[in-house]
Amino acid sequence: MRDDLPTPARPLKIGTRGSVLALWQAHEVRRCLMAAFGLPEAAFETVVIKVTGDQIQDKALREIGGKGLFTREIEEALLDGGIDIAVHSMKDMPTLQPEGLVLDCYLKRADVRDSFVSLRHGSIAELPAGAVVGSSSLRRRAQLALRRPDLKLVEFRGNVQTRMRKLEERVADATFLAMAGLTRLGMLDVVRSAIEPEEMLPAVAQGAIGVERRSDDARVAAMLAAIHDRDTGLRLAAERSFLLRLDGSCETPIAGLAVLEGDRLWLRGELLRPDGSASVAGERRGPADEGAAIGRALAEELLDRAGPGFFA
Ligand SMILES: NCc1[nH]cc(CCC(=O)O)c1CC(=O)O
């Protein structure tokens, strides 16, 4: 292993999207690897890869359709050998990886909550009837419509700066952003309140950074094992199994969150109709290392309770 570590002459190539958040996350993985192996920054090379999802800014992503809008080009580079590892927001990752790739290394998870962002109001509860909320997340839109059918929803995309400008221009009175992303960008000052999971269950894997590799790359596998966070792995195993059994795509509003209670795992999940006219929510507890079975069982229970006509 020692002789096999990357060097400035033979750097480890880290593939990432080019957004400020994506670069921060790639550099965080680099920091963890530098610390774990005593390596200099020059032993790594950051390779920025353009993805379809970033090139389209004027449409809601669900109109473009298809899974992996933020990942396909990056995974192609990984399979080609153009990069050695790829860093992702796990929330944006499909539940299955292409043949030849493995995604089982997660950094310690950050704040999982959504945040309420507004210039004039302090929380969802304080929004007056008829207030306009900007969000393009199917999950957040459905969750809000379910709880506050009196509010008006508008599409909202772009980076944090763009969204703050839209709030200033009164395109909307409020929006939602993940606490994790804002924390990483050093922009927690825009948050009016953090929304507890009881009020708005977050997206599966929200707040977690994952590192993908080629399945036959034993050297990289050994390096990634050193920075993997076991608790995050147990939690995501349950949440992603839940999502997989639901065949979650961008068309289906799904929320899911697992937490550890000692050697037990507590998984909560929610399925919604896109217009917020109905939802089914449930929870399960079980041994922490049986997350995959717990996730599947909760998904099956919710599908059963929702019935065949639920998403129609
Ligand atoms: N879908 C975009 C996305 N993917 C990951 C994050 C934030 C970081 C994270 O949850 O790990 C965001 C932005 C947001 O939802 O506010």
Report the pLDDT value the prediction gives residue 269, as an integer from 0 to 100.
98
**Whose CA is closest to 202, among 158, 163, 243, 150?**
243
User: What sign has the CA pseudo-torsion 211, 216, 222, 223?
Assistant: negative
Q: Find out whether the beta carbon of 190 lies less than 6 Å from any atom of ligand 1.
A: no
Complex ipTM: 0.96
Report the pLDDT value the prediction gives residue 215, as an integer from 0 to 100.
98
Alpha carbon nearest to ligand 1 atom 1, residue: 92
Q: How many CA atoms lie within 13 A of 10 on its CB side?
A: 4
Expressed in angstroms and rounded, the spacing between residue 49 Cα and the centre of ligand 1 is: 18
Alpha carbon nearest to ligand 1 atom 11, residue: 207
Q: Directed axis angle between helix 20-37 and helix 218-225, to 10°?
A: 90
Give dist(CA 14, CA 50) in Å, integer: 14
Point out the ligand 1 atom lying closest to the alpha carbon of residue 207.
11
Q: Find out whether the beta carbon of 75 lies less than 6 Å from any atom of ligand 1.
A: no
Surface-to-core class of residue 277, CB atoms within 10 Å of its CB (0-12 exposed, 13-18 middle, 19+ buried): exposed
- Contact call for residues 171 and 154 (beta carbons, < 8 A): yes
Expressed in angstroms and rounded, the spacing between residue 138 Cα and the centre of ligand 1 is: 13
Which residue of the set 84, 92, 114, 173 is catalytic? 92
Give dist(CA 241, CA 296) in Å, integer: 6
Q: What is the pLDDT of residues 184-198, one digit of tens each?
A: 999 999 999 999 999
- Contact call for residues 157 and 177 (beta carbons, < 8 A): no
Q: Find out whether the beta carbon of 13 lies less than 6 Å from any atom of ligand 1.
A: no
Q: Find out whether the beta carbon of 16 lies less than 6 Å from any atom of ligand 1.
A: no
Report the pLDDT value the prediction gives residue 2, as an integer from 0 to 100.
61
Report the pLDDT value the prediction gives residue 283, as an integer from 0 to 100.
98
Q: Find out whether the beta carbon of 78 lies less than 6 Å from any atom of ligand 1.
A: no
Helices then strands, counting H and E runs in the chain, come out as 10, 13
Contacts of 111 (CB under 8 A, 6+ apart): 179, 180, 183, 194, 207
Per-residue tokens: 59: 């449409």
Q: Directed axis angle between helix 291-306 and helix 230-245, to 10°?
A: 30
Q: Which domains does the chain have, with CATH numbers?
A: 2-107+208-228 (3.40.190.10), 114-195 (3.40.190.10), 240-305 (3.30.160.40)
pLDDT along the chain (312 residues), means of 10: 87 97 98 98 97 71 64 96 98 94 98 98 97 96 97 93 95 98 96 98 98 98 98 98 83 93 98 95 98 98 91 69
Q: Find out whether the beta carbon of 178 lies less than 6 Å from any atom of ligand 1.
A: yes
Active site includes 84? no
Beta-sheet pairing, 44-48 with 12-16: parallel
φ, ψ dihedrals at 116, nearest 5°: -100, 125
Q: pTM for the whole thing?
A: 0.94
Q: Find out whether the beta carbon of 135 lies less than 6 Å from any atom of ligand 1.
A: no
Report the pLDDT value the prediction gives residue 57, as an integer from 0 to 100.
64
- Contact call for residues 123 and 145 (beta carbons, < 8 A): no
Report the pLDDT value the prediction gives residue 89, as an integer from 0 to 100.
96
Point out the ligand 1 atom lying closest to the alpha carbon of residue 202.
10
Expressed in angstroms and rounded, the spacing between residue 257 Cα and the centre of ligand 1 is: 15
Give dist(CA 209, CA 253) in Å, integer: 21
